[in-house]
Amino acid sequence: MSEDIVRKPRHIGHKIALVCAVLCGLLMLPAAIAFFWFLYTRGMADTWTPSMAAAVAFFGCCAGVLYATSVPQPVLPPMDEVDGEQGS
């Protein structure tokens, strides 16, 4: 099946989620830099280092979830084209 998936256009909620995903991705960069700086200067025994690692993980997961939320759903086929879905 080499059909292209037809998706609905992004509405305002999808656009807001996409912007927030990009923002979380951008905020992950300074958190990662701070994590590596704390790792090399203070080591893992300091409380700031694991906190920065948690911040990096949070922003990364937040960006992933918001991006998945921003993807519009594919257009469903009409009901008369669905095979075997009717109670027969």
Domain-located, residue 17: yes
Is residue 22 a part of any domain in this protein?
Answer: yes
Count up the domains in the chain and report the number.
1
Nearest to 12 by CA among 22, 3, 20: 20
pLDDT tens per residue, range 23-49:
999 999 999 999 999 999 999 999 999
The verdict on residue 44 lying in a domain is yes
**Which of the two residues, 42 and 75, has the higher pLDDT score?**
42
| CA atoms within a 13 Å half-sphere pointing along the CA-CB vector of 72 | 14
pLDDT of residue 80: 72
Contact residues for 76 (Cβ-Cβ < 8 A; gap 6+): none
Range of the domain at 31: 12-72
With respect to residue 80, please indicate whether it lies within any of the assigned structural domains: no
Number of alpha helices (DSSP H) and beta strands (DSSP E) in the chain: 2, 0
Residue 78 forms part of a structural domain: no
Q: Determine, yes or no, domain membership for 1.
A: no
Cβ atoms within 10 Å of 77's Cβ, excluding its own:
10
What is the pTM for the complete model shown? 0.75
